[in-house]
Amino acid sequence: MSWTNERIELLQKLRLEGWSASRIAGELAHGITRNAVIGKVYRLGLSGGAKALPGNVPASPPHKAPRRPPHRHANSPQVAGNTALALHPFVIEAAAPQTVRDVVVPISEPVTIVELREPMCHWPIGDPVQSEFRFCGAKKLPGQGPYCACHAGIAYQTQHDRRRERRSQSRPSA
């Protein structure tokens, strides 16, 4: 597909006559798509210059039937006007109480980055921009990640725990 001078002239003529991009693409054919026509019309600055012809005018929107009011029960509260503050009772399930884990961090001498070795816990302690910044330094299990057992319990959650937490956060609070 290429835009030759003849195709561009035909595009301009048809666009000024009020043809739609789909009809122009059908007339030009040979790999010219509706989107290609729209893009070329935009690049040529013809986007606002189309005149609507009687044959090209879209049909008027279909007439919508008036809405029927919903069926009201005799016992339901009647609300008129703004319904933003209307009474919509619903039941909120209380979140299951989460078990509290006691995290016992082993007492160890925190180490600096220079003193930190592979078998030591890499849990950061403090603010990295301060001179007092250290790492936990407790012994970790080989092949079990960068943290000791206690810090791994803080850092990692099972997928089930994350889903439960996400569900409880998305529920509206009463």
- State the pTM of this model: 0.34
Q: How far apart are CA 53 and CA 55, in angstroms?
A: 5
- Which residues in the chain come in under a pLDDT of 70? 1, 47-91, 98-107, 161-162, 170-174
In this prediction, residue 87 carries a pLDDT of: 66
pLDDT at 59: 47
- C-alpha triplet 137, 143, 144: angle, nearest 5°: 65
